[in-house]
Structure 1
Amino acid sequence: MYKLTFLFLICFTLNSSAQSPYFQQKLKYQINVTLNDIDKTLKGDETIIYKNNSNTTLDFIWFHIYPNAYKNETTAMFQQIKNDPSRKKKLEKYSTGHIEGLNFKVNDQLAIIEAHPNPQFIDVIKVKLPFPLKSGDSIKITADFKVKLPSYFSRSGYVDDEFIITQWYPKPAVFDRDGWHEFPYLDMGEFYSEYADYKVNITLPSAYVVGATGVLQNADELEQYKTTGAKNFAAKDDKPALYVPKDKNGTKTLSYVMDNVPDFAWFADKKYVVSYDTLKLSSGKIVDVFTYYYNKKKTLWLESVNYAKDATLKYSNWIGEYEYPIVQVVEGPKNNASGGMEYPTITLITSPDAKAQSLDAVITHEVGHNWFMSILGSNERANTWQDEGLNTYYQFRYEAEKYKANSIFGDAIPENIKALPSDQFQSTLYNAMINNIPMNSAIATAVDKFANSDDYAMTSYIKTAIWLYLLEASVGKDQIDNAFKTYYKDWKNKHPSPQDMKASFEKSLGKNLNQFFELLNKQGSFK
């Protein structure tokens, strides 16, 4: 997520002991879901094939049932929002949501469900297995569910006829070498998810345009998106070609497939304009690029496909080639707490489009999360810097090289600074950040331990970018990119810890980085 509070600023300890052997659980989802756009509900069922790749026999599986986080003001999410003055505005007007009708079965045997012992964690349940799940074995888990969507105030929900369907299905918590990670949903603080293969069928009124994780399997629908989108990309004017459903008053079922991703999200609105083009990566790989946006006069979104293409190409060259066949960006409703929220292959942008380069920056940041969240699936709740901070470092480089700009400073950068070569421009701005921006907390602070959202943003985003820039100033930009390429090659589609990142960097740079990584525990700035 990209924090818009950046624009208004300025004018855990690393364990060095050996970790347990790495393993990774494997999941396959088949989900069928129907949207009722009148009563704002989802009705669905899922089948999960869960393979236990650990050396531990499992007697239960923790599940996230995230919609229950929106159920009442006693939940961990509501308590966090209420205790943070900068987020309280979210609760001025909202409607709640919840999930119900759950009936878990394991290999067709009814499973017992237990509540989490923490009363604030009503969005976490324990599914007790009817029989032990031994190492190397797989089980089939099925469940029906019905979701009452909340109004959109924290990532998921609806605004009028736009539906933002995220955190919506029962989802096993991660079980890794450190055990279970059954944390609740938080507004400030993101996710940690098992990699899985998804097949999802979405039934909804035919008039809706849908963007979702993965590749649309309906050939006729996909062709219309591409044909209409290509016209809009080429024309770039205020009279776009619009999606025309075959049966305006009927329903349709859209099928999506995506393998080896940590989540599935989808977005639907009757008013979306589709824009489309393809991107050729340096290897020759072709990626489909879609954006979905509102039909407004002089909208900056006319260039949104180009922004997504630029970001995908730059990150591919800097870090490692984009893994997926498709990248998508959706214009969402204005949100008072963020500029966007990322999911595999698709991201929602909730930033007011004040000017072109700020929209480009937020799209770049969110597209960048395909690397730092999706492909490199670190624990964002424990080590938020491994997601947001690494991504911000590259976003700052993108802005500097393309615009001689930086989202922290906005319009406050003097013209003589903008006239500098990009490397000197970056050096000047990073020095200004070090000397002028207060950063009290250590980078290695778990997200639920930050005092407020400003402290979280300053530390996880900006302080981490500065930390990486200090290494760049020491070893060189090309060497940093090579270190990231090694990290990417070693850990893509896995769950790297800070120690894993450190080992990859040391291997690439050929030097001991103990002192550098100890800076993650430093309180205050790097002066």
Structure 2
Amino acid sequence: MFSQYVFVVRMAMKVHVFLRFATLILYLALVRISSAQIPETEPPYSIHIRAELDPAARELAAEYDLRYTNQTPDTLHELVIHLWAQAFSSPLTAYGRQKRLFGDTEFYFLKDDQRIRYSFLQFSSGKTFLDIEQVGDDPDIVRIRLGEPLPPGEQVDLHADYHLALPGFHSRLGTDGTIWQLAHWFPKPARYVDHAWQAIPYLELGEFTQDFARYQVDLTLPDSFVVVATGEPADQATYELRELALETTRNGSSGMPERTGTRQTWSFKADWVPDMALACSAAFFLQDGLISLSDGRKARGQVAYLASEAKRWESAMDDVDRSTRFYDQHVGPYPWPFVTAVQGVREFSGGMEYPMLTYIQPG
């Protein structure tokens, strides 16, 4: 049952995120003092992704631009990148080994065409293609050799083209055919701390650290889909699409009002966040409301869920409002402009929080 208790537990991401934020800021401050790191006036990197989702083919194709600033005291000759979606490409990955350890053998016996994976990936810098080397035994950690050394304070721009095969759902990424969850779905730089890269394979149960960064995502998909994401709308067109989705829900229908078979683009931006996640469906209801924060600011709360679950979600917006205000008052100021709770896919269990967005376990 979708009780207030369960929802507040899932929305405990506010405590989780706030405490991580506070701890990480203190940790980074100490690291800067001890390691003489370059002061951070900007996030160490920014990522812009232009992606197209093909629901029929169950594939995502993307162009990816990374601007990385060396905020370390060392000259870098490589970047270490997490490809966490590749953790599902084989039963022999750290993720697969952990699943077996927990007694789950279903993942082990999947056929290759049932596995989420990078079906294509190419990095380049300017007109030069860059070598991609696997780090150790984990295919979801790779090394990109830079064409030139990157001294402290300097920037490098990298481009990537990649395709993700999304035949099903693993952990927090994929689809059940109705809802699409996009988490850990793009190449993500590892952190460089104390003169070393912190490269961590993806695990079903585990923790990892991430740098705060700046993101923009432009997701193109069929015009029947509603999209929610980390961040806020990046352009007027996305604000208008969002308003159409809200109006459609108020009129008692799911998805978008005009289904012409064309494609449209939803754009989102987010500053100083450690990750970027999305969810989309042609069957979403979307509701929203303003949340009054303790310092006088207002955040925009929203919930997205399937029409078939409307009864269970009827108080969800009130729960988002109440839980956000509680943690804002008692833990620390909520730092971002949006708070989103979204229903996860059928196979999703437990729920998971990302900046500004929490996936909620179905039912």
Report the TM-score range of the alignment, normalised by the length of the smaller protein.
Answer: 0.7 to 0.9
Report the alpha carbon displacement of residue 287 of structure 1 after superposing the two structures with TM.
0.8
**8 A Cα contact 2:36 2:73, kept in partner:** no
* Whole-Å separation in 1 of the counterparts to 2:229 and 2:142: 27
Give the structure 1 partner of residue 341 of structure 2: 329
Give the structure 2 partner of residue 350 of structure 1: 361
**8 A Cα contact 1:230 1:276, kept in partner:** no
Instruction: Select which of 21, 25, 28 maps to 2:35.
Output: 21
Give the structure 2 partner of residue 287 of structure 1: 299
Structure 1's unaligned 5+ residue stretches are 7-17, 353-527
Name the SS of the counterpart of 2:184 in structure 1.
Answer: coil
Mapping 1:129-208, distance limit 5 Å: 129-177=146-194, 179-208=196-225
**8 A Cα contact 1:229 1:290, kept in partner:** no
**8 A Cα contact 1:107 1:139, kept in partner:** no
Give the structure 1 partner of residue 273 of structure 2: 261
Report the alpha carbon displacement of residue 260 of structure 1 after superposing the two structures with TM.
1.1
Give the structure 2 partner of residue 474 of structure 1: none
Report the alpha carbon displacement of residue 241 of structure 1 after superposing the two structures with TM.
4.3
* Whole-Å separation in 2 of the counterparts to 1:178 and 1:312: 38
* Whole-Å separation in 1 of the counterparts to 2:263 and 2:240: 18
1:104 aligns with 2:118: no
Report the alpha carbon displacement of residue 71 of structure 1 after superposing the two structures with TM.
0.7
**8 A Cα contact 2:288 2:301, kept in partner:** yes
Report the alpha carbon displacement of residue 42 of structure 1 after superposing the two structures with TM.
0.6
Q: Deviations over 1:160-211 (max 9, x none)?
A: 1311111111111111236211111111114322211111111101101111
RMSD (Å), alpha carbons: 2.7
1:115 aligns with 2:134: yes
Give the structure 2 partner of residue 31 of structure 1: 49
Name the SS of the counterpart of 1:103 in structure 2.
Answer: strand
- Cα distance 1:203–1:298, how it changes in 2: closer, same or farther (>3 A)? closer
Sequence identity, in percent?
Answer: 25
* Whole-Å separation in 1 of the counterparts to 2:300 and 2:248: 15
* Whole-Å separation in 2 of the counterparts to 1:334 and 1:243: 18
* Whole-Å separation in 2 of the counterparts to 1:322 and 1:305: 17
Q: Deviations over 1:258-293 (max 9, x none)?
A: 111111111111100011111111221111111001
Give the structure 1 partner of residue 13 of structure 2: none
Whichever residue aligns with residue 153 of structure 1, its letter is H
Whichever residue aligns with residue 65 of structure 2, its letter is T
Q: Deviations over 1:397-439 (max 9, x none)?
A: xxxxxxxxxxxxxxxxxxxxxxxxxxxxxxxxxxxxxxxxxxx
Mapping 1:85-484, distance limit 5 Å: 85=103, 87-88=104-105, 95-118=114-137, 121-177=138-194, 179-223=196-240, 225-226=242-243, 229=246, 240-296=252-308, 299-335=311-347, 338-352=349-363
* Whole-Å separation in 2 of the counterparts to 1:247 and 1:227: 12
Whichever residue aligns with residue 76 of structure 1, its letter is A
1:64 aligns with 2:82: yes
**8 A Cα contact 2:254 2:282, kept in partner:** no
Higher relative contact order (CA 8 A, sep 6+): 2
Give the structure 2 partner of residue 53 of structure 1: 71
Larger radius of gyration: 1
Whichever residue aligns with residue 208 of structure 1, its letter is F
Give the structure 1 partner of residue 94 of structure 2: 76
* Whole-Å separation in 2 of the counterparts to 1:230 and 1:303: 19
Name the SS of the counterpart of 1:123 in structure 2.
Answer: strand
* Whole-Å separation in 2 of the counterparts to 1:73 and 1:92: 8
Q: Which has the higher helix share?
A: 1
**8 A Cα contact 2:238 2:265, kept in partner:** no
**8 A Cα contact 1:67 1:149, kept in partner:** no
**8 A Cα contact 2:53 2:220, kept in partner:** yes
Report the alpha carbon displacement of residue 93 of structure 1 after superposing the two structures with TM.
6.8
- Cα distance 1:221–1:117, how it changes in 2: closer, same or farther (>3 A)? closer
**8 A Cα contact 1:166 1:266, kept in partner:** yes
Give the structure 2 partner of residue 466 of structure 1: none
Whichever residue aligns with residue 351 of structure 2, its letter is G
* Whole-Å separation in 1 of the counterparts to 2:253 and 2:163: 35
Structure 2's unaligned 5+ residue stretches are 10-29
Q: Deviations over 1:19-43 (max 9, x none)?
A: 6337466101111100011111110
Name the SS of the counterpart of 1:342 in structure 2.
Answer: strand
**8 A Cα contact 2:284 2:304, kept in partner:** yes
Normalising by structure 1, we get a TM-score of 0.58
**8 A Cα contact 1:49 1:138, kept in partner:** yes
Report the alpha carbon displacement of residue 312 of structure 1 after superposing the two structures with TM.
0.9
* Whole-Å separation in 2 of the counterparts to 1:3 and 1:67: 28
Report the alpha carbon displacement of residue 349 of structure 1 after superposing the two structures with TM.
0.6
- Cα distance 1:148–1:227, how it changes in 2: closer, same or farther (>3 A)? closer
Give the structure 2 partner of residue 456 of structure 1: none
Report the alpha carbon displacement of residue 150 of structure 1 after superposing the two structures with TM.
4.4
Normalising by structure 2, we get a TM-score of 0.83
Give the structure 2 partner of residue 441 of structure 1: none
* Whole-Å separation in 2 of the counterparts to 1:327 and 1:46: 26
**8 A Cα contact 1:68 1:99, kept in partner:** yes
Report the alpha carbon displacement of residue 89 of structure 1 after superposing the two structures with TM.
6.1
- Cα distance 1:230–1:62, how it changes in 2: closer, same or farther (>3 A)? same
